[in-house]
Amino acid sequence: MRRCTWIVAFVCLALCLHPVVGQQGEGRIAFYSNRDGNDEIYVMNAGGSGVRNLTNNPTGDLVPAWSPDGSKIAFWSYRDGAWDIYVMNADGSEVRNVSNSASVDKLPAWSPDGTQIAFRSNRDGNWEIYVVNVDGSGLRNLTNNPAYEVAPAWSPEGGKIAFVSSPRGRPAQVYLVNADGSGKRQLTNNPGTVGEKVQTVSLSQLAWSPDGSKIALRAGDLDGVYTNIASVSVDTGELQLLTSGVDRHGKPRWSPDSTQIAYDRRREGNFDIYVMSAEGELRDDTGRRRLTRHPSYDWFPVWSPNGSQIAFASERDGNSEIYVVNADGSGLRNLTNSSSDDHWAAWRPHP
């Protein structure tokens, strides 16, 4: 009995000092992969075990997005002969087409209450922002404008949607619109250059801070050759550069506590994962840290729900894999270990 008690105590101590990967990794990660011959939506435990194909369809299924309660996954697929938005249960059951268009519908974004999905569509001849109920009803065009309008992002409380509008021949601007389509207003007054002639003609990749005070985005030239991370104050519309230089910065993602931003940065011909203070590396250079160093591409970062880890895609093994690293840069590991290509990690939210 004394020996058994000692063993139990030792195991408990070991688990406290070295948490098992499944616990450390927080739940589930969705991604898409061509490991079965075409792109499909998969899920796995956050430690890399339990990989499962959810879609099992001969056409492409891409870019999974968890509902806020983790019970459903939205994605886009070509299975009906056009790129549409689909929703399925988290176990892969009850797949349904919610956008139903012969045009292109892309990049679903869930409302915080999980009842609606915003997306971009060219069904009216140019890119517009649409919203649809999760059952496919209530489809509506929120923008109705001849400009190029993309990158919908819901406010954390769900009342507003931010998006980018790019009128022909003029700098892009960030707009806000109520979720019912009313109250559209221009948030930024982007002149096309900020600071020391850093180009902000093109704006994209909007990410609303969890506390609702700011929107992070990518700003750059029209060709996307030189891009930086900027943020916009929701109260004032002020556009503030957070990075600078002639590198390519992108994919800003807020930490759950709104104090940090993860992003990828291309320098010396490859991308790596960085984290900086929400104030930006220009104001707080000590708050920037480089999490990966590899001559291949490490990009598309996404935070774990508790902010302790960052998942990303890496091509360091000769193909694209899903990796995870602790937020301090330690504990790097390959989660997928596949000879095929695995992309677009999406961490299941805390229900």
Confidence class for position 245, pLDDT limits 50, 70, 90: confident
pLDDT tens column, 301-346: 999 999 999 999 999 999 999 999 999 999 999 999 999 999 999 9
> What strands, in cross-sheet order, belong to the sheet with 52-53?
52-53, 40-45, 28-33, 342-347
Q: Are 288 and 281 in contact (CB under 8 A)?
A: yes
Instruction: Give the pTM.
Output: 0.90
84: tokens are 């549409």
> CA 117, 123, 128: angle at the middle one, nearest 5?
55
> What strands, in cross-sheet order, belong to the sheet with 333-334?
298-303, 309-314, 321-326, 333-334
Residues 129 and 198 in one domain: yes
CA distance 187 to 165: 11
Residues 314 and 259 in one domain: no
pLDDT tens column, 107-142: 999 999 999 999 999 999 999 999 999 999 999 999
Residues 44 and 71 in one domain: no
Question: Which has more pLDDT, 199 or 88?
Answer: 88
Residues 57 and 162 in one domain: yes
Residues 30 and 115 in one domain: no
Residues 185 and 242 in one domain: yes
Eight-state DSSP code of residue 261: E
Above 50 in pLDDT, residue 10? Answer: no
Handedness of CA 231, 251, 262, 74 (dihedral sign): positive
Eight-state DSSP code of residue 167: -
pLDDT score recorded for residue 26: 62
Structural domain harbouring 315: 1-52+298-326+337-351
Residues 257 and 191 in one domain: yes
pLDDT tens column, 265-291: 998 789 999 999 999 987 666 678 999
Residues 180 and 285 in one domain: yes
- The CATH number of the domain holding residue 96 is 2.120.10.30
Total domains, the chain: 2
User: Which run of H or of E encompasses 13?
Assistant: helix 2-17
Cβ count near 78 (within 10 Å): 16
| Average pLDDT for 48-75 | 97
Residues 120 and 21 in one domain: no
Kind of pairing, strands 270-277 and 96-97?
unpaired
Residues 71 and 7 in one domain: no
Instruction: Write the CB contacts of 35 (distance below 8 Å, at least 6 apart in sequence).
Output: 42, 338, 339, 340, 342
CA distance 188 to 264: 24
Residues 142 and 277 in one domain: yes
Give the CA distances from residue 241 to residues 17, 154, 171, 227, 233, in Å, rounded to whole numbers and listed in that order: 40, 22, 16, 11, 12
Residues 103 and 218 in one domain: yes
- DSSP result, 73-134: EEEEE-TTSS-EEEEEETTS-S-EESS--SS-EEEEEE-TTSSEEEEEE-TTSS-EEEEEET
